[in-house]
Amino acid sequence: MKNKVVLFLGLLLSANMAWAELKIGFVNIPAVLEKAPQAEKAKKRLEQEFSPRDKQLVAQQNDIKNLEERLNRDAAVIGDSERRNLEKDILNKQREFKRSQQEFSEDFNIRRNEELGKLQRKIVEAIRELAKSQSFDLLLTEGVIYASETVDVTNQIQQKLSAMPD
């Protein structure tokens, strides 16, 4: 029985020594995403890609608004047939606008998710490179309740991302 206690204490001491040598770090992914130069470039690419369609939606909306104003202003002086045609035209343009708006939203979300996926892959790559180059045993991200500044390597990850090509 005494041998088992000594063996257990020996294992416990060696485990504590191994833990003492463990190099652990923490990365604040939301902070990296917010400050990554690739995120700003992706945002500009999305704006450039979707700006023409956004302007088209605004033009459609203004067209509908103008037709509605015309209907309200001239309803008393135009004939029933012309009023019905105008109402029908407004309704058709509203349907088309809603459809265009929904397509725009879906397309934008798909592209935004593609860009976010690319950025997340770059972040993971930067984290792995840092972990290997600085001999980390463990790097943590989400779900950390507390991390002291001595183990927070977020700034180093941001520097690695700044040095990476788009």
29 within 8 A of 147, measured Cβ to Cβ: no
Which numeric CATH code is attached to 23-163? Answer: 3.30.910.20
| Per-residue pLDDT tens listing for the chain (166 residues) | 544 434 444 444 454 545 557 888 888 888 888 888 889 999 999 999 999 999 999 999 999 999 999 989 988 888 889 989 999 999 999 999 999 999 999 999 999 999 999 999 998 888 888 888 888 888 888 877 666 777 778 888 888 888 887 7
Please report the pLDDT score of residue 143 as a whole number: 74
CB neighbour class for 50 (10 Å; exposed up to 12, middle 13-18, buried from 19): middle
129: left (phi over 0), alpha (psi -120 to 50) or beta: alpha
Please report the pLDDT score of residue 20 as a whole number: 59
Q: What residue segments make up the domains of the chain, in order of their start?
A: 23-163
Q: CA 138, CA 135: separation in Å to the nearest integer?
A: 9
The model scores a pTM over 0.75: no
Q: For residue 30, what are the contacts with CB-CB under 8 A and spacing of at least 6?
A: none
CA-CA-CA-CA torsion for 123, 127, 128, 129, nearest 10 degrees?
Answer: 100
